[in-house]
Amino acid sequence: DAGVTQSPTHLIKTRGQQVTLRCSPKSGHDTVSWYQQALGQGPQFIFQYYEEEERQRGNFPDRFSGHQFPNYSSELNVNALLLGDSALYLCASSRTIGGYTFGSGTRLTVV
Partner 1 sequence: KNEVEQSPQNLTAQEGEFITINCSYSVGISALHWLQQHPGGGIVSLFMLSSGKKKHGRLIATINIQEKHSSLHITASHPRDSAVYICAVGIRGGGADGLTFGKGTHLIIQP
Q: State how far the Cα of 46 lies from the Cα of 52, in Å rounded to an integer.
A: 16
Select the residue interacting with partner 1 from 18, 77, 104, 109 (CB under 8 A): 104
Count CB neighbours of 82 within 10 A: 12
Does the protein bind partner 1 through residue 42 (CB under 8 A)? yes
Q: Are strands 10-13 and 106-110 parallel, antiparallel or unpaired?
A: parallel
For position 90 contacting partner 1 by CB under 8 A, the verdict is yes
Is residue 48 close enough to count as binding partner 1 by CB under 8 A? yes
* Shortest separation between residue 21's beta carbon and partner 1, angstroms: 13
Part in contact with partner 1 (CB under 8 A); list of ranges 13-21, 38-46, 61-69, 77-85: 38-46
> Does the protein bind partner 1 through residue 41 (CB under 8 A)?
yes
Which of 60, 66, 55, 110 has its CA nearest to residue 88? 110
